[in-house]
C-alpha cells in the first residue's frame, strides 16, 4: 500500500515537471530556457551590464532600472525593468482601469444568445482557458489563436465573425483574460506532434527574420533591443509578451488584441502585416505563446 502511494506521488511529480517535456518540445524548451536566462542576465543589473547590453542607454536611465528581475516578473512587459513605470503601473492597477466597461461588455457577450439560441459560453464552457491559446488543432493540422477560435465559434453558429483587432473581440478577450488571471492561470501552450513542432519553428523563424529596407526583425527590438528606447517607448522583452492580452492603449483609447499591436509593429518595420487569421500570424503567436509558458496571466493590461 505504502509503496503504491509513494509510487503514484513520484509519478505525479514527474508529470508536473514534465508538463511541457515531450519528444516534440525538446527544441522549444531549450529556446524557452535560453530566453529566460538571457533576460534574467540582462536585467540582473542594468548599470553593471551597460557595456554588454545597453551601450546606448544613459546612466540616468540605467539607474532607474529594477535590479534582479526574475522570470515571472516579465509578465508586465516593459514595466518589469523600469522602476518608475512599474510603480506607476501598480498604483494604476489598484484603482479604476479604463477597460472595466469593456470587460463588463465582454461578460455580457459571453452569455448573449446567438440567433440559434447557443452562445459563446457553449464554445468556451470554462471561461478561464485563454492561457491555453494558441492551440494546435491536430485534426486541421493548424494553429488556432484565441481570436480565430472565437470567430470560428461565431461562424459555426451562423453568426458574422468579429473584427479581429478591437471592439467586441477585444472586450470578449478582456473578459476571458480577467477570468484566467483571477483563476491564477499560467500560460500553457502545448506542442504535441511533429506538425505542431514545425508550426512552432516557422513562427520562430518569422520572429527572427530580418525584413524590409530597415532589415529589422521582431527580435532586433524585443530581444537585443529590449530595455532600450525607441520613440520614447521602452521596448518590452519577448519573454512575457503573451501574458497580458488584450491591452488598453492610451494611444488607441480602447482595448486591442495582440494581433492589433503586432500589426502596428510590422507596419513600423516597413512591411505589410499578414492577415490576423493567416497561418503566419497564428504561428508567430504560437511561438511567442510558448516563450511565455509558465508565466502568470496578467491581462488585460494598460499601455501607452
What's the min distance (Å) between Cβ of 64 and ligand HEC? 16
What's the min distance (Å) between Cβ of 29 and ligand HEC? 21
Count of residues interacting with ligand HEC (CB under 6 A): 22
Question: Please, which of residues 58-97 interact with ligand HEC by CB under 6 A?
Answer: 77-78
Cβ atoms of 44 and 67 within 8 Å: the answer is: yes
x/- binding map, residues 234-253, to ligand HEC, per CB under 6 A?
-xx----x-----x------
**Residue 256 CB-half CA count within 13 A:** 17
What's the min distance (Å) between Cβ of 8 and ligand HEC? 41
**Is residue 153 among the annotated active site residues?**
no
* From candidates 103, 143, 239, 266, binder to ligand HEC by CB under 6 A: 266
Active-site position among 123, 218, 221, 265: 265
What's the min distance (Å) between Cβ of 231 and ligand HEC? 6
* From candidates 167, 268, 277, 294, binder to ligand HEC by CB under 6 A: 268
Cβ atoms of 299 and 245 within 8 Å: the answer is: yes
Cβ atoms of 36 and 239 within 8 Å: the answer is: yes
Strands 301-303, 247-249: pairing is: parallel
Cα separations in angstroms, 184 against 116, 126, 297:
34, 14, 7
Cα separations in angstroms, 238 against 2, 75, 165, 220, 224:
46, 10, 21, 10, 10
302 binds ligand HEC (CB under 6 A): no
Cβ atoms of 235 and 221 within 8 Å: the answer is: yes
CA-only gyration radius of the chain, Å: 20
HEC sequence for 23-77: CCCHHHHHHHHHHHHHHHHHCCCCCCCHHHHCCCCCHHHHHCECCCCCHHHHHHH
Stretch binding ligand HEC (CB under 6 A), from 60-68, 121-129, 188-196, 262-270 = 262-270
Question: Please, which of residues 206-235 interact with ligand HEC by CB under 6 A?
Answer: 216, 218, 220-222, 230, 233, 235
What's the min distance (Å) between Cβ of 33 and ligand HEC? 21
Site residues for ligand HEC per CB under 6 A: 77-78, 216, 218, 220-222, 230, 233, 235-236, 241, 247, 258, 261-262, 265-266, 268-269, 284, 303
Known catalytic residues are 265
Amino acid at each position: 500500500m505504502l509503496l503504491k502511494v509513494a509510487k503514484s506521488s513520484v509519478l505525479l511529480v514527474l508529470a508536473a515537471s514534465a508538463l511541457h517535456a515531450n519528444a516534440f518540445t525538446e527544441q522549444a524548451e531549450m529556446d524557452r530556457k535560453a530566453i529566460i536566462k538571457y533576460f534574467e542576465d540582462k536585467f540582473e543589473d542594468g548599470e553593471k551590464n551597460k557595456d554588454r547590453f545597453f551601450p546606448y542607454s544613459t546612466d540616468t536611465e540605467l539607474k532607474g532600472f529594477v535590479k534582479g528581475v526574475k522570470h515571472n516578473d516579465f509578465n508586465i512587459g516593459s514595466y518589469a525593468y523600469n522602476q518608475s513605470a512599474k510603480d506607476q503601473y501598480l498604483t494604476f492597477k489598484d484603482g479604476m482601469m479604463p477597460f472595466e466597461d469593456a470587460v463588463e461588455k465582454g461578460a455580457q457577450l459571453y452569455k448573449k444568445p446567438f440567433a440559434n439560441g447557443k452562445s459563446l459560453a457553449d464554445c468556451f464552457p470554462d471561461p478561464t482557458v485563454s492561457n491555453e491559446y494558441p492551440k494546435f488543432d491536430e485534426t486541421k493540422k493548424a494553429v488556432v489563436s484565441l481570436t480565430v477560435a472565437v470567430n470560428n465559434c461565431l461562424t459555426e453558429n451562423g453568426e458574422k465573425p468579429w473584427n479581429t483587432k478591437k471592439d467586441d473581440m477585444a472586450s470578449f478577450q478582456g473578459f476571458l483574460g480577467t477570468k484566467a488571471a483571477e483563476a491564477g492561470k499560467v500560460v500553457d501552450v502545448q506542442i504535441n506532434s511533429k506538425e505542431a513542432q514545425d508550426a512552432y519553428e516557422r513562427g520562430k523563424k518569422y520572429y527572427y527574420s530580418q525584413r524590409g529596407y530597415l532589415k529589422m526583425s521582431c527580435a532586433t527590438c524585443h530581444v537585443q533591443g529590449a530595455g532600450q528606447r525607441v520613440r520614447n517607448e521602452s521596448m518590452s522583452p519577448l519573454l512575457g509578451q503573451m501574458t497580458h492580452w488584450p491591452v488598453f492603449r492610451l494611444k488607441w483609447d480602447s482595448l486591442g488584441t495582440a494581433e492589433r499591436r503586432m500589426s502596428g509593429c510590422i507596419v513600423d518595420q516597413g512591411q505589410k502585416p499578414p492577415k490576423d487569421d493567416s497561418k503566419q500570424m497564428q504561428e508567430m503567436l504560437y511561438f511567442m505563446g510558448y516563450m511565455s509558458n509558465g508565466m502568470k496571466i496578467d491581462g488585460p493590461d494598460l499601455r501607452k
